[in-house]
Amino acid sequence: MRRISVFGATGSIGVNTLDLIARRPDAFDVVALSGGRNVALLAELAIRHRAEIAVTAFEECLPNLRDALSGTGIETAAGSDAVTEAAGRPADWTMSAIVGAAGLPPGLKALEQGGTLALANKESLVCAGPLMLETARRHGSTILPVDSEHSAVFQALLGEDIAKVERVIITASGGAFRDWSIERMARATPEEAASHPNWDMGQRITIDSASMFNKALELIETHEYFGITPDRIEALFHPESMIHAMVGFCDGGLMAHIGPADMRHAIGFALNHPHREPLPVERLDFAKLGQFTFRAPDEVKYPALRLAREVMQAGGHNGAVFNAAKEAALDAFIDRRIGFPQMAEAVEKVLVKLSSSHLGKGAMTLDTVLDADARARVAAAEIIAAL
């Protein structure tokens, strides 16, 4: 039996992870599940999977969680420190599927226990890539990417020498506004941005797909995880979302990873690694699909892509600043305090404002990353209020 924990269990990735786990009840023991305000779902999942402990990130949700789990023998806890503590319970495999920088402390804690960290939480690599990789190395733990593009690159690299990689192409569906003009995008509402043409995901990543901030995070994630230099990483529009990534080698050959737009493939790959096991995903019928199309992304329409390049070049704590500013701008857009294009405007201003500070000059620790994150949120609040 493999001991499994799922952080962000109540979200889109978490629920899909537990769906796969439920199909093989004899293979897995569930240790810890964490969630946010959806306490009813967290309790239901904890009971169904006989978890040892269920943790909500929010203290005020604890009474409801306790009620829902009373008499079950399942432990309960609340607060972000409790989430991180739960990640310290030994597990063989941990899913990191909290959304945002809040996923970083529990992800690091899980890495300190050895074992495997299946990483959906791309923000932790964007904010603290070197720290994540160094923590894994020090504790002999493994990070497996779960983002579909990065799982695709990982799979294309199996048996290959990374030194022979000439380029990595990360595909993008284009999100909700791929066929909209810049003028129409300027008036977009959060509801419009939150409807994805191909993927069924959480609200925040879906809006980030419409602005290409999701792809921007993924370019940085590619750089951090695989150690590929920014000039060799490309984003490519591919509206069908069937090719998730391509890896080009020094001999001109490319390995493309093709699969259905169903996260259970990438999650299942990480769950079963290093083996392959059958997964309940659609098998593609190419004759029916007919064609795959591609186009170059428009960096004027999507400034997030340009900002990602600048962040990769600058390195240090700029990833943490970029992500925190992006999270603050996304909150402001969801709350209708700013318009859609102002998200990129705000993020760029925060990066410029903090670029002359001492951020990123010293060694990276969890504290320095959290400090950069906090300073970026303060700067973002001021900048957003003045927009």
- Label residue 296 exposed, middle or buried (CB < 10 Å: 0-12, 13-18, 19+): exposed
Nearer to ligand NAD, 61 or 384 (CB): 61
H-run or E-run covering 53: strand 53-56
Q: Which amino acid is at 221?
A: E
**Longest distance between any two alpha carbons in the chain, whole Å:** 63
**Least distance from ligand NAD to the Cβ atom of residue 331, Å:** 11
CA distances from 374 to 125, 127, 317, 346, 380 (A): 17, 12, 12, 16, 10
Nearer to Mg ion, 149 or 348 (CB): 149
Q: Which residue from 114, 202, 316, 339 is in contact with ligand NAD, where contact means CB under 6 A?
A: 202
**Which residues lie closer than 8 Å to 242 by C-beta, 6 or more apart?**
258, 259, 260, 261, 284, 289, 292
For helices 148-156 and 213-226, the axis angle rounded to 10 degrees is: 30
Q: Is 122 in the site for ligand NAD (CB under 6 A)?
A: yes
x-marked contacts with ligand NAD along 48-87 as a string, rule CB under 6 A: ---------x----------------------x--x----
Provide Rg for the chain, Cα atoms: 20
Count of residues that interact with ligand NAD, criterion CB under 6 A = 27
Q: Tell me which residues in 261-300 interact with ligand NAD (CB under 6 A).
A: 263
What is the edge-to-edge ordering of all strands in the sheet holding 254-258? 233-237, 165-172, 243-249, 254-258
Stretch that binds Mg ion, among 125-133, 143-151, 187-195, 253-261 (CB under 5 A): 143-151
Q: Which residue from 98, 128, 210, 338 is in contact with ligand NAD, where contact means CB under 6 A?
A: 98
Q: Is 14 in the site for ligand NAD (CB under 6 A)?
A: yes
* Alpha carbons 270 and 278: distance in angstroms, whole number: 13
Q: Is 147 in the site for Mg ion (CB under 5 A)?
A: yes
Stretch that binds Mg ion, among 20-28, 90-98, 141-149, 324-332 (CB under 5 A): 141-149
Q: Is 11 in the site for ligand NAD (CB under 6 A)?
A: yes
Q: Is 6 in the site for ligand NAD (CB under 6 A)?
A: no
Residue 94, strand partner residues: 5, 117
Q: Tell me which residues in 22-51 interact with ligand NAD (CB under 6 A).
A: 35-36
Q: Is 207 in the site for ligand NAD (CB under 6 A)?
A: no
Residues that bind ligand NAD (CB under 6 A): 8-14, 35-36, 57, 80, 83, 97-99, 102, 120-123, 147, 199, 201-202, 204-205, 263
